[in-house]
Amino acid sequence: MATYWDQMFNTTGTSTSLADMNAGITASTGPFRPRAGSKLMAVKVLLSGTAATSLVAHVRIELNCTLWSPNLMRLGYEGAHLLTAPANAGNNVSFVDPVDQPVDKVTDILGQYILFDSPVTPRILVFGLFQV
Digit-coded pLDDT (tens) for 15-35: 999 999 999 999 999 999 999
CATH number of 3-131: 2.60.120
Instruction: Enter the pTM of the model.
Output: 0.91
Instruction: Please choose, from the candidates 89, 90, 85, 79, the residue with its C-alpha nearest in 3D space to the C-alpha of residue 52.
Output: 85
| pLDDT tens digits, one per residue of 69-118 | 999 999 999 887 666 665 555 567 889 999 999 999 999 999 999 998 88
- In the chain, DSSP assigns E strands to 3-11, 19-20, 22-23, 38-49, 55-64, 72-82, 93-103, 110-115, 122-131
**How far is the C-alpha of 22 from the C-alpha of 34, rounded, in Å?**
15
The domains of the chain are located at: 3-131
